[in-house]
Structure 1
Amino acid sequence: MNKIIVVLLTLITILSCKIEKATEIIVIGALHKPAPNFNSDILFDILEDVKPDFILRELDSSFFTAKFKYKKKPNSNEGIASEKYAKKYPTIQLRPYEFEGRNEYRINIGSRPTDGFTTKLLDSLNKANLLSVSEAKIHDKYNALLEPLIVLASKSPENFNNPTTDSICAERQYYQYKMLTKITNKRDEFKTYFHKKPNGEKISYREGFQLAGDFWDLRNQTMAKNIMRISEQNQGKRIVVLCGFMHRYYILNQLKELTKNKNITLKEYYEK
């Protein structure tokens, strides 16, 4: 009799325990503009294979209606493919995860266009042999790191969606926002060249470039937190995150930390 009671209690316990299905996050690095090796049709086929419940876009809420439909007809690979997928599968949910007001924020603080002005000035100084040996070495390394990424981005999508490419992207961005500042924080040119912000205040190239580096961190960290918020609100769903492939390494590194001890798994789109 006691054995029967134990068995019944065990069965009741098993049945009463709800086993939650793990949430899956799949970060897909993309090329925004169509290319022979990556276009909206190729991305749509990837989405067909993955079969996501949610597709998260590297956009802020201003691009969507209150019901998360695109306000304007999309023209990027991610926009065209996701809209096509949402039309074929009406239950799919589209969501933005970008830093709100990204472009306006950068313009207002002065990090844009001073970031572009700074890199152009660096190029001209290096071409004129005006950088020191150590400075030129940093700048040459920064430029060289772009070459393998151009090659990888011309191949099939799995070639720019893997840890090896992620590590190259990470090093390249490290050189852009950490190593180049060793030059801009030292040389007087970047202290004495200025840009006028929308509010009329002047900002030096040096300060603007530093702010651009700070915003690279802030933006990616904010995007990862937004992805996590959506994921935690939708337990057990398969969530595809579409991003420019240069962001992939940063978002994944953040998500690896944020998903620790949570019922959330990170997968590649080509993993079964």
Structure 2
Amino acid sequence: MKKSITILFCVLLSIPSFAQKTEIIVIGNIHQPVPNYNSDTILTILKSIKPDFLLQEIDSSFFNDDFTFKNPPKENEGLASVQYIHNNPKTKMRPFDFEGRNEYRKINGFNPTEGLAIKLLDSLYKKNKLTKSEAAIYKKYNDLLEPLKIAASKDAKSFNNSSNDKICEERQYYQYHKLLSIMQERSEFSNTYYTKANGEKISYLKGFQLASEFWDLRNQTMAKNILHIAEENPGKRIVVLTGFMHRYFIVRELQKQTENNTNIIIREFYN
């Protein structure tokens, strides 16, 4: 009897999906090289983690059929990934972004209307044309950027933690909900238009509303894509390379979707 139990236990341990958890490690990054953070910084982190998969914040159009980059990358994440895979060829790359992201923005007209709407709001603020409550909201929106700048000037752990995630979440809430509430009350945004490439006009208000909706849609889609890759590759260590402003949303969605899945672990790169 004891011998049978021992054999069964050994068989179960030999099955990767039973014996080994799937790890998802979401690393928030600064896309462009700065003195304290560049591709070498990411490469050092990757060497310590030893990932099986490196997920990139781009869509499939940037990849060849074998999931190599069509063009040499220019951002920190891509540069570090290419160098890491050169020395660790068994590691695989995959895209996880919303498919056709940039074209979707242009077709729907919220690129560049989102930026134009914020520029108009900033102008109204500086000219003291906002109400007291509107000005307070816009000031808070700007003030929330300061602690993020400080975190981004330090090491990677400083902007990859739950405290910084909360600031990112609040900042994005102010951008896509509180600023939108101002624009919905002011005629300047519903009466100012941008002409799209196809000749159609879109108001600054409508463009900003679409951008707000897309922020949620894009992040939810990215989390879904990450989870799909994780479920297709049980027992693997998956590193997600994203901009650190997206991190809070992606981590939150992944935790929500894996709440009852004991085979997937969401962890930090330094744990």
**TM band (smaller chain):** over 0.9
Deviations 1:133-175 (A, max 9, x none): 0100100000000011011101011000000100000000000
| 2:84 maps to 1:85 | yes
TM-score, structure 1 normalization: 0.96
Partners of 1:254 and 1:20 in 2: CA distance: 25
Q: Which has the larger radius of gyration?
A: 1
2:138 is aligned to 139
Moved over 4 A (4+): none
1:265 is aligned to 265
Counterpart selection for 2:6 from 2, 11, 14: 11
Partners of 2:8 and 2:254 in 1: CA distance: 33
Q: Report how far residue 12 of structure 1 moved.
A: 4.3
For 1:1-272, list aligned pairs within 5 A: 6-17=1-12, 18=15, 19-262=18-261, 263-271=263-271
Q: Percent identity?
A: 54
Indicate the SS of the match to 1:217: helix
Q: Report how far residue 13 of structure 1 moved.
A: 3.5
Partners of 1:78 and 1:125 in 2: CA distance: 37
Give, as a single letter, the amino acid of the residue that structure 1 aligns with 2:71.
K
Q: Which runs of 5+ in 2 are unaligned?
A: none
Give, as a single letter, the amino acid of the residue that structure 2 aligns with 1:44.
L
Q: CA RMSD in A?
A: 1.0
1:3 is aligned to none
Partners of 1:12 and 1:20 in 2: CA distance: 15
Partners of 2:246 and 2:5 in 1: CA distance: 48
Q: Report how far residue 190 of structure 1 moved.
A: 0.3
Give, as a single letter, the amino acid of the residue that structure 2 aligns with 1:209.
F
Q: Report how far residue 14 of structure 1 moved.
A: 2.4
Indicate the SS of the match to 1:265: strand
TM-score, structure 2 normalization: 0.96
Aligned length: 266
Indicate the SS of the match to 2:185: coil
Q: Which runs of 5+ in 1 are unaligned?
A: 1-5
Partners of 1:133 and 1:142 in 2: CA distance: 14
Q: Report how far residue 110 of structure 1 moved.
A: 1.0
Q: Report how far residue 131 of structure 1 moved.
A: 0.2
